[in-house]
Structure 1
Amino acid sequence: MKRYNKKLSYLALAIASALTTNIALAEEANESTSAQDNSGLERIEVTARKTVETLQNVPVAVTSIGAEQLEQNGISVMTEVQQFSPNTTLQSSRGTNSTLTAFIRGVGQEDPLWGYEPGVGIYVDDVYIARPQGAVLDILDVERIEVLRGPQGSLYGKNTIGGAIKYVTKKMSGDAEFDIKATFGNYARQDYKVAGAVPVVDDKLYVGFALASLSRDGYGEFLQSGLPGQDLENYNKDVFAGRVTVEFTPTDDWFFRFNYDNTQDDSNAKGGYRLLPSIVTDAPIPDSVYDSYTSLPTKNVVENEGWSLTAEYYINDYWSLKSVTAARENYSPTNIDFDNTPLQIFDVPAIYDDEQFSQEIQLNYNGDNLSFVSGLYYFDGESCGHYDAIIFQSLTAEKSGCNNSESYAVYAQGSYNLTEKLSFTLGARYTEEEKYANVNDDLRFSIEYPESNWIPGYTRGDLPVTEVLNGNKTWSRFTPKVGVEYQVDEDMMVFASYSQGFKSGTFNPRASTNEPAVNPEIVDSVELGIKSEWFNQLRVNATVFALEHKDRQYKSVVPNEDPTVLDSRLGNIGQSEAIGLELEVEYAATESLSFNFALGYIDSEFTEVLSWNGNGYDDISDIYTVANTPDTTANFGVTYDIETSVGTFVINSNYYYRDDYALVELDNRLTQDAYGLLNLGINWYSNEGDWTAALHWKNITDEEYMVGAYDFTGGQDEEGNWLPGFGGDTTLIAYYGDPTTISLTIGYQF
């Protein structure tokens, strides 16, 4: 940790220097009005600490992207939010459009298989989304998206060791509303969105709804397929989503909100691009990175639905109670052709089936010198699945089972104003979690699919099942947070904090023996930050941080009583560290012209990964790389408003830069080079405020960039020749981000 302590001290000195300069400037500007009250800078509200606060007053590294900014930048899906949040990676995970890969500050989870827990928490209206399947949310009736960076263990609990993404939907205004939008673009894109709200009883009862049909042809195609009559579009989109909201305010003291949402994603399974020619087929490397081959059905389904009921009671001016009850379920039959050839070299048809229920009760206080949030939390989740790994065109390695969890937590976090300028934050959460797991493991000397009619005419028999793991384990964890904040003046705050988070312990979903569970992963993090506004026009927020990620869960050989037996198990064998800087700047140059800039820098590495050599443990951390984590991310944007006789035009453009980054943690043989995305938008608003139109041109330079990969090669020999790996082929596969897209959106509201 010495190397990181030294670098942290350098970063801290840089921040201290900036603070000294800023404080001097603040003294010169003492008589100016608060920037927060000036129209040049928008007042931004967030709920990062589970209560409404302004962005500039919350001592948390958080980025908030509001509905207007999302609309003017043409952001249609949650993964695009990564452009505006430093040190953040949000990608559609490999073989589907809807499965999320999320990393913040180098902390996340590569593998979306049931049983593995995410490292970044996803929340929709305070409801935790436990599984990554279906977590790539389309922007529908949203008020804002908040990105909280760093461990959020005290308030949000397990699986937020990297941070949390909060998707906040719009509350109803009290008036009758109706909004319709249609988007048309290249690749035959057609999106239709309708949203509305109706006051059933004035000032008491409102009903709202939002519907969306989102479709697009594929960016590429499947060039050969082992099955006739398939839809050969690759990277296409076919989504229908809906939401219903009921809000009820019977008295001034009570508020109820019921939400129901449903998403049906029938987009094709996504085929990867072979970076190496196959040594067992004659199919050449495709000309387009969006083209692929497959021997599986292209059909893919993600069904995701849930409901929540929020009740709030304002006891008096200081105290309030809040209850959030929610349930969700997901069903996803999917096809991933890992080798991406017309032969069954390594095909994995699979089913994911998840359910969850949660209940949270909060007791909150907001006084003159003291404010706190406290609560009780219960979670019950069932995460099950089944896959058939078809290899060598003749064998099927079958896995199935469940990793179910039940957890209870109690938490409290409060801030106390010791003086008018100095305050302290103290928070803690105690969690107790029990997991139940079973794994079935079978080898079939035939080709099998999870269900009958998975391919036309196929009938699955009543096959025997061999249970190899059946166990349960209970963990408890105390996760604290300590912070100090100093309000230099009404426009500047500095803060420092320590926080801890944990990712759940688990059982190996690919176990072949009755192996024990692994313990939770732990992240300890320290931060030093500043939030400031200057001269009614400039907002500067910065954070330096250092974190230690311990007990990382990886597969490894472990000691066995019989030295001739290689016992491969999931274990807590990894440790990594990171240090970094985040800077966010917004400058309102004039009433019409504004600039924004976001910069993230991180230096992360594995410091220890243990592997049993027969006599002891070797440290093999040199062959591990922190994946999905560029050293530098940056975004620069410009917005210009033009008032005319025919309406207002808002022109915006941004350039997003990502440094090179590894795509695979173990034996990384695939790195995405640094690249940049240039985007342009022209938005028009009628003088009456009812008509809107927007033209968006994204990835103008048509950059080709990888967002996911699979490496099943045997590596390279001394002469650089690729060796065959699992499945007997040289399988090195990449998935790519969107090419150049152009779209026109027309909207009408009344």
Structure 2
Amino acid sequence: MNTILRIARKRAFFLAGSSLAIGYIVASSTSAWAQDAAAPQAASEQSRGGLDDIVVTARKREENAQDTPIAITAMSGSMIEDRQIANVAQVASYAPNVNIQPVGNISGSSASLTAFIRGVGQTDFNITVDPGVGIYVDGVYVARSVGGLLDMADIGSVQILRGPQGTLFGKNTIGGAIIVNSKQPTDKFELQLEATTGRFNRADVKGIVNIPISDTLAMRAVASYETRDGYQRRLFDGGRQGDKDSFSGRVTFKWEPSDAFTATLAGDVNIRREASAAYTLVENRDSPDLLQIVNINGRTVAFPSSNFGYNKLGGGAGQCGAPGELAPVSNPNCVSSRWLTDDIDETWAGGPNRSDFDLWGTNLTLEYDMGDVTLKSISAYRDQKSTIEFDFDVTPLEVLGLTNNIDLWQASQELQLIGSVLDDRLKFTLGAFYLKEKGEDIEPLRFGFANFFSGGKINNDSYAAYLQATFDVTDRLSITPGIRYTDETKRFDPSAQVITRDYTQGVLPPYPDGVFIQYSRCIVGQAVPQLLPNGFPDPACVPAAVNPGGNHPIPAVEVNAKAKEWTPSVAANYQFTDDIMGYASYSKGFKNGGFSQRIFPAEQVTPSFTPEFVTSYEIGLKTELFDRRLRLNLALFQSDYSDIQIVVNEGIAPKVRNAGKGRIKGFEVEGQAAPTDWLRIDYGLGYLDAKYRTVDPSAFPVMLGSKFAFVPEWTTTVAANITAFDNDNGKLTIRGDWYYQSGTFKDAVNSPQLYQSGYSVFGANASYALPGEHFTVTAGVTNLADKRYIQGGYVDLDVGGAAGATYSRPREWFLKVGYKY
């Protein structure tokens, strides 16, 4: 494998170096909504005027997006290539009220994703917590946030469905759904080669081949290798963080023995051997005392300080001051603010520097066309393994660190019956879905006062059945009701969680094994916590039966969360004219509850949280004006959000809590314009007003006035595609884009260290296709203004003593050479 990667890297530099030179032109506008592939990939047919038709599969059938009563942002494969979109997170820059970041809070993973649509999502990447936005690849649900950062190689289309999609998609689409469709084999031979170089020693190579093996069988394969150096320098060892070293591949066979039957078998793989995601220490807080006295919703609670534990009991003992004193900033053997840097691209992190990811999957899709009815089966299996190192203290000292060892597999089966009756006046989709997921994340953690294992094993089952139908009441009026029933069981076995070392052992005489181990004996599984009046554990208490060894932070017993829910929807759309359609819709979505796997020092029972729900009301207008030169779509919505699942800190551990109720109001303006044959403009504007209506006391310090995490009030996007010339000398296309997002917090507790003020991001590129259009040279710049904005982070100053953030990539140039046969 290493030999292959070295050859690929050399080949990338050779091809890029031998390419034609082209100066990239900076513009403030980029590509239009040209659609280029077959219908199942949400592409378009021939243009009937200025703008092309956009065909989507949001309702499990092929429809013109302008006739679909759903707020949709759709991109074809050519649009993805034109905008140089490399992964699914970058799609958010072209969709209003969509916020996707390529990071996970409290994670060093380079393959994780945090997605919010219309204010609904999830910041926690743990395997016991489900994402709030569902991602589907070729009809297959991607169950976890780690692994959700999909590469955009040979993609036919991407569709973003805003609002709850609780009928047809169901599984964790409470905020919306992201549908990714790869390009399918065709009956024509194709060969594409591509090499890219750029800043940070970027060297990417990609190859695509489509082979018609026979009249009934075709094969399509893609292989892509991407590499670049990290943009953050480690001062401790000279290493880098935030790099790219990823190989992905996919092969698809499509068999069509008759006009009625199609079988598609695909397999894919993604292998990453990368450093940790870039992470910057923004604040450090030492403590002169072991226990921090914290007020939580009227309760006075004592929590241990990691920095005190290291400086006074661990590696800094005897060097970093006596109890009651802060550690000297001048001593490099102590944890202190000396480890902050003045440059977000430099870090003193000294822990292991690794984010490994291995994924493979296969799926089989069978379709049988029986005339008015089509039967479709989607069978899939996916297996992933990740090892993620996270140096939370961001110092050269071993104070706060964790390693996620994620090993998961999922198997799913979906059956769909899609058809029409009554002379096509009634179109319906009937389906059944099953998902099985098993895995574990055994997570060793080191803290200044103790070392322990977190995590555990999961075993989940999800069953669902759904029905949706569209009835044409008249030639202009249609009504679409839908219903889905879901039965889910999530199981969590935390038996692996144990305290492996207590640094207070032998320090406090009443607790020879350590005060934190004694806490676990006096709390875990006990009917009533056995604590002394001063809050310390009773030295005489003994472990409960569910706490074998006396060192488990929670009972070593499997727990489960069950949910049985109906999620209905109904929409009505009216065609006022051939070019103007209005609609109104109601939909409901839910996301199951689960368990917090981060626990310390002890809990009587495993902390759990209940399902959350969203009920959405929407009205919209879809128009095509001025002889199809202008497409203007409007949506106005209100979402009632209840039992909101958020992440809050309680002591050392970030836990998921049900915050209470909220209401999200907003609107979207989205469309395209083709004022001339040589100019295409895409635009979008989104507004969100998200507020809590009630807050549960357990969600403290979240209050009624708190802001939702990852929910900016305004999002704006403008992109344009200019054809400078298209003649016998070739074709030159200039593209540019602008994205704006207003200020937002990156966590639910509104930590000021994680507030990102409003910012703009610009990009530009130019492509020259040589005569014959076999060779294309593209040059461009991403993040043109070099805006460095916070993508995510974590703050825990009371216990962890640190606050850190991940910042966006800096400005980068690239040069790409492509060949098509």
Give the alignment's TM-score, normalised by structure 2.
0.79
1:219-618 alignment to 2 at 5 Å?
219-225=231-237, 232-276=239-283, 279=286, 280-281=335-336, 283-316=338-371, 318-367=372-421, 368-392=424-448, 395-440=450-495, 441-445=497-501, 466=552, 467-510=555-598, 512-515=603-606, 517-535=608-626, 536-554=628-646, 571-611=657-697
Contact 1:623 1:666 in 2 (8 A): no
Q: Does 1:58 align with 2:65?
A: no
Match of 2:53 among 34, 43, 47: 43
Contact 1:155 1:411 in 2 (8 A): yes
| Runs of 4+ more than 6 Å apart | 555-558
- State which drifts further: 548-557 or 402-411: 548-557
- AA aligned to 2:740 is Y
Match of 1:68 among 78, 81, 105: 78
1:514 offset after TM fit, Å? Answer: 3.0
1:469 offset after TM fit, Å? Answer: 3.7
Contact 1:469 1:513 in 2 (8 A): no
- Deviation by residue 1:606-660 (Cα, 9 ceiling, x = unmatched): 2222126xxxx99952364211111000011121112243211111111111111
Contact 2:272 2:358 in 1 (8 A): yes
Q: Is the partner of 1:201 in helix, strand or coil?
A: coil
Q: Does 1:622 align with 2:635?
A: no
1:370 offset after TM fit, Å? Answer: 1.0
Match of 2:176 among 158, 163, 177: 163
Q: Is the partner of 2:676 in helix, strand or coil?
A: coil
Q: 1:91 to 1:667 in 2, by over 3 A?
A: closer
Contact 2:573 2:584 in 1 (8 A): yes
CA RMSD of aligned residues (A): 2.4
1:284 offset after TM fit, Å? Answer: 4.1
In 2: Cα distance, 1:42 partner to 1:465 partner: 64
- Deviation by residue 1:677-708 (Cα, 9 ceiling, x = unmatched): 11111012233121111112111111111101
Contact 1:350 1:387 in 2 (8 A): yes
Q: 1 or 2, which has the higher strand percentage?
A: 1
1:668-679 alignment to 2 at 5 Å?
668-669=751-752, 670-679=754-763
Q: 1:555 to 1:645 in 2, by over 3 A?
A: closer
In 1: Cα distance, 2:573 partner to 2:186 partner: 35
Q: 1:197 to 1:37 in 2, by over 3 A?
A: closer
1:278 offset after TM fit, Å? Answer: 6.0
- AA aligned to 2:425 is N
1:44-193 alignment to 2 at 5 Å?
44-94=54-104, 95-193=108-206
In 1: Cα distance, 2:790 partner to 2:778 partner: 28
Q: Counterpart in 2 of 1:12?
A: none
In 2: Cα distance, 1:355 partner to 1:147 partner: 26
1:345 offset after TM fit, Å? Answer: 2.1
In 2: Cα distance, 1:618 partner to 1:289 partner: 31
In 1: Cα distance, 2:657 partner to 2:249 partner: 41
- Deviation by residue 1:581-616 (Cα, 9 ceiling, x = unmatched): 11112110111012221111101022222126xxxx
Contact 2:284 2:803 in 1 (8 A): no
- AA aligned to 1:40 is G
Contact 1:403 1:509 in 2 (8 A): no
Give the alignment's TM-score, normalised by structure 1.
0.86
1:501 offset after TM fit, Å? Answer: 0.5
Match of 2:229 among 212, 217, 228: 217
Q: 1:609 to 1:252 in 2, by over 3 A?
A: same
Larger Rg: 2
Contact 1:274 1:734 in 2 (8 A): yes
- AA aligned to 2:188 is D
- AA aligned to 1:236 is D
1:398 offset after TM fit, Å? Answer: 1.6
1:666 offset after TM fit, Å? Answer: 1.4
- Deviation by residue 1:114-153 (Cα, 9 ceiling, x = unmatched): 1001000011001000001111111111011111100000
Contact 2:232 2:278 in 1 (8 A): no
**Identical-residue share of aligned pairs (%):** 31
- AA aligned to 1:586 is Q
Q: Is the partner of 2:79 in helix, strand or coil?
A: helix
In 2: Cα distance, 1:136 partner to 1:434 partner: 26
In 2: Cα distance, 1:625 partner to 1:185 partner: 39
Contact 2:792 2:805 in 1 (8 A): yes
Matched residue pairs, number? 670
Q: Is the partner of 1:468 in helix, strand or coil?
A: coil
Task: Return 5+ residue gaps in structure 1 as ranges.
Answer: 1-34, 226-230, 448-462, 559-566, 714-724
- State which drifts further: 376-385 or 537-546: 376-385
1:554 offset after TM fit, Å? Answer: 4.8
1:326 offset after TM fit, Å? Answer: 0.3
Contact 2:702 2:749 in 1 (8 A): no
Contact 1:193 1:213 in 2 (8 A): yes
Contact 2:121 2:175 in 1 (8 A): yes
- Deviation by residue 1:278-308 (Cα, 9 ceiling, x = unmatched): 6524644323312222232112201111110
**Greater RCO between the two (CA within 8 Å, min separation 6)?**
2
In 2: Cα distance, 1:302 partner to 1:631 partner: 35
Contact 1:515 1:569 in 2 (8 A): no
Q: Counterpart in 1 of 2:813?
A: 742
Q: Counterpart in 1 of 2:739?
A: 656
Q: 1:637 to 1:568 in 2, by over 3 A?
A: closer
Q: Is the partner of 2:558 in helix, strand or coil?
A: strand
- AA aligned to 2:411 is F
In 2: Cα distance, 1:328 partner to 1:361 partner: 18
Q: Is the partner of 2:609 in helix, strand or coil?
A: coil
Q: Counterpart in 2 of 1:639?
A: 721
In 2: Cα distance, 1:113 partner to 1:624 partner: 24
- Deviation by residue 1:446-468 (Cα, 9 ceiling, x = unmatched): 69xxxxxxxxxxxxxxx998453
1:23-38 alignment to 2 at 5 Å?
38=48
- Deviation by residue 1:219-265 (Cα, 9 ceiling, x = unmatched): 1211115xxxxx71111110010101000001110001011000011
1:343 offset after TM fit, Å? Answer: 1.4
Q: 1:170 to 1:555 in 2, by over 3 A?
A: closer
In 2: Cα distance, 1:667 partner to 1:593 partner: 42
In 2: Cα distance, 1:36 partner to 1:747 partner: 25
Task: Return 5+ residue gaps in structure 2 as ranges.
Answer: 1-44, 287-334, 504-548
